[in-house]
Copies of this chain bind each other. A is one copy, B any other.
Amino acid sequence: MYPSDPGYAPSFDTRLAQAETLCQERGVRLTDLRRRVLEIIWSHPKPMGAYAILDVLRGDGRQGAPPTVYRALDFLLEQGLIHRLASLNVYAGCCQPGSRHGGQFLICRDCGQVNEMNSPAVENLLCAEAAAHCFEVLTQMVEVLGRCPDCQRGTSSDVG
C-alpha cells in the first residue's frame, strides 16, 4: 500500500520492467528520455516538480528545456505510470500502474511525504455520489493534506 514501505513495494527493476511490458502491450514507446524521467521520479523519496526533474536530467549531461520534461510527463501521465498532484504541482510515481485509477493521496503537511492510497470504496462512493447528480465521471483527483504517522509521533527524519 505504501510505496515507500520496503516490505510492500516491488523493487525498482521490477517496476521498470512492468512499465516496459505495459508500454509494449499498448504499442507505445518508452523511450530513453521517458524511461529516465520515470526512473528519476521513482528513485526520489518524494514527488518532484517538473523543474527539479529537469535539473536531474541536466546533471546527466543531457540537453533539455521545460518542454523536454513536460512532454515526457504527459506521456507517463497518459499511460498511468505517474500521477500529478495538482495541489503541489508535483509528479509522483503510480504504485499500481496497469489499472487506470485516480488514486487518493495522503500528503504530509510537515515532512512533505506523499503516500498513494487506492481505496476502491472511496472511488466507488465518489462515482455514486456524482451519478446521483447525473454527472459522468472521467477522472478523480483526491488529495488529502494532513500529518503522516511519523510526524504525529515526532519521529520524522527528513523535512522538506
The answer on a CB contact under 8 Å between A135 and B121 is no
Contact of A37 with B by CB under 8 A: no
The answer on a CB contact under 8 Å between A126 and B144 is yes
Q: For residue A143, which residues in chain B have a CB less than 8 angstroms away from its CB? A: 86, 140-141
Contact of A142 with B by CB under 8 A: yes
Q: For residue A149, which residues in chain B have a CB less than 8 angstroms away from its CB? A: 133-135
How many identical subunits does the complex contain?
2
The answer on a CB contact under 8 Å between B122 and A138 is no
The answer on a CB contact under 8 Å between B137 and A117 is no
Give Cα A122 to B142, complex, Å.
Answer: 11
Contact of A109 with B by CB under 8 A: yes
Contact of A60 with B by CB under 8 A: no
Categorize the interface residue count of chain A. 35 or more
Most buried by B among A119, A126, A147: A126
Residues 47-88 of A, flagged 1 when their CB comes within 8 A of B and 0 if not, give 000000000000000000000000000000000000000110
The answer on a CB contact under 8 Å between B152 and A147 is no
Chain B residue with Cβ nearest A85: B86
Interchain nearest-CB distance for A87 vs B (Å): 4
Q: Indicate which residue in B129, B133, B141 contacts A145 across the interface (CB closer than 8 Å).
A: B141
Give Cα A149 to B134, complex, Å.
Answer: 6
Given contacts A86-B86, A143-B86, contact A129 B122 (CB under 8 A): yes
- 14 additional A-B pairs beyond A135-B144, A142-B142, beta carbons within 8 Å, are A86-B86, A86-B87, A87-B141, A104-B129, A115-B135, A122-B125, A134-B148, A134-B149, A135-B146, A135-B147, A135-B148, A136-B147, A140-B142, A140-B143
